[in-house]
Amino acid sequence: MAELQTVDRRSFLKLSGLATGIVLSGGAVVVGTVGPRPRGVAAARQAEKVQLAYPEYPDIVIANLDDIVAGEPVFFEYPQAGQKNMLVKLDKPAEEGLGADGDIVAYSTACSHMGAPLDNVYNHEYGMLGPCPLHFSTFDLAKSGMNVMGKASDHLPQVALALDDNGDIRAVGMFGLIYGYPANLFAREENS
């Protein structure tokens, strides 16, 4: 008679997740890791890493450092036309922030929950984007776009920024998936 083997809960959950992933992907196995965004790395070095990791992202100038006014958002489309983002100087240090004070950041303005536009709900006093007009999700821009209220379960996608010698702020990549896209550089899904 064969000896029964016991499996602890953690191993069972890992194996169940792997099996589910294989079934849902049609039998294809994709190996890789998804983890938290790197923290505390100088913005230029981080942007360089993103550019090396994702060379397909365009490198565009958003604005010049001298033209940025605290609390006044600058809107731009990136990485494709129709993907609206907001660059803002928060007046307080931010994770992955750019500039002398580390307080310039940029995020997608499509809510990560259902894609509602967030371009008219920036609160400079608190450095928050939201509440979303659909389900009140609110995001802390100093903390990598972390959801602090509402139904969103993901951070807002953050634009990776770099600063060149001329003081130009450049978009060089994205952290996170923009709502409604199978990948940030692909066409929008029809049912979104």
Domain that residue 82 falls in: 43-175
Q: Would you say residue 3 lies in a domain?
A: no
Domain assignment present for 32: no
- pLDDT tens sequence across 159-177: 999 999 899 999 999 999 9
- 14 within domain boundaries: no
Q: Do the domain assignments include residue 98?
A: yes
The mean per-residue pLDDT over the stretch 10-31 comes to 58
In a domain, 90, yes or no: yes
Averaged over 79-108, what is the pLDDT? Answer: 94
What CATH number did the domain enclosing 126 receive?
2.102.10.10
The per-residue pLDDT for range 31-79, each reduced to its tens digit, is: 433 333 444 445 555 555 555 555 688 999 999 999 999 999 999 999 9
C-alpha 46/C-alpha 98 separation (Å) is 11
Looking at residue 42, its pLDDT comes to: 52
Mean pLDDT of 88-116: 94
Identify whether 8 is part of a domain.
no
Mean pLDDT of 7-22: 62
At residue 21, does pLDDT exceed 90?
Answer: no
State residue 47's pLDDT score: 54
pLDDT higher than threshold 70 for residue 2: no
Q: What percent of the chain has pLDDT over 70?
A: 69
Query: Could you tell me if residue 185 is inside a domain?
Result: no
| Domain total in the chain | 1
